[in-house]
């Protein structure tokens, strides 16, 4: 994955919730085409940013350690996504994801995005947890997660 949409994870309670932020800037290429003369961050990418945060929460929640490869969160369903206001260059989008129902290999997460104290998006996301046997994929995730959490301590090991 090279389309990273979070700038920072700001909170994590494994098994419960995570918080993060995305700063919308004029350097985000997509805002120049969406829309000319009225740049906004696309709603689909707001959902994707929330999904990336939810994946982070799930991967740290479901991590078992040991000899088995880490399980990675794969988004399989977006339900009841609703948008309330746009995010424009200069805005900071604050995300919160909360773990809902879980099974051994699947989980549901509620996601919400706020801009300037107003709800911008909400959705329910469903993920499958899949063992991935690719050290390259795991190292990429570990690097990304270290960047997202630099300077923070959540008391869990990043898988």
Active site residue 34: yes
Cα distance between residue 79 and residue 23, in whole Å: 25
Q: Catalytic residue among 32, 34, 63, 138, which?
A: 34
Cα distance between residue 83 and residue 45, in whole Å: 12
Q: How many CA atoms lie within 13 A of 116 on its CB side?
A: 9
Cα distance between residue 54 and residue 34, in whole Å: 25
List, in sequence order, every beta strand (DSSP E) within 42-154: 71-83, 92-102, 106-115, 118-131
Helix (H/G/I), strand (E/B), else coil: 108: strand
Active site residues: 34
């Amino acid at each position: 994955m090279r389309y990273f949409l979070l700038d920072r994870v700001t909170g994590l309670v494994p098994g419960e919730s995570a918080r993060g932020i995305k700063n919308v800037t004029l350097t985000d290429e997509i805002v120049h085409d969406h829309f000319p003369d009225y740049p906004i961050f696309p709603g689909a990418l707001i959902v994707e940013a929330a999904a990336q945060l939810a994946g982070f929460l799930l991967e740290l929640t479901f991590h078992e350690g040991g000899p088995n490869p880490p399980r990675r969160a794969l988004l399989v369903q977006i339900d009841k996504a609703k948008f309330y206001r746009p995010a424009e260059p200069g805005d900071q989008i604050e995300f919160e994801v909360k773990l809902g129902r879980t099974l051994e290999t699947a989980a549901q997460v509620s996601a919400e995005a706020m801009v300037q104290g107003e709800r911008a998006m909400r959705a329910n996301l469903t993920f499958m947890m899949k063992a991935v046997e690719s050290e390259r994929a795991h190292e990429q995730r570990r690097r990304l997660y270290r960047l997202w959490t630099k300077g923070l301590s959540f008391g869990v090991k990043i898988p």
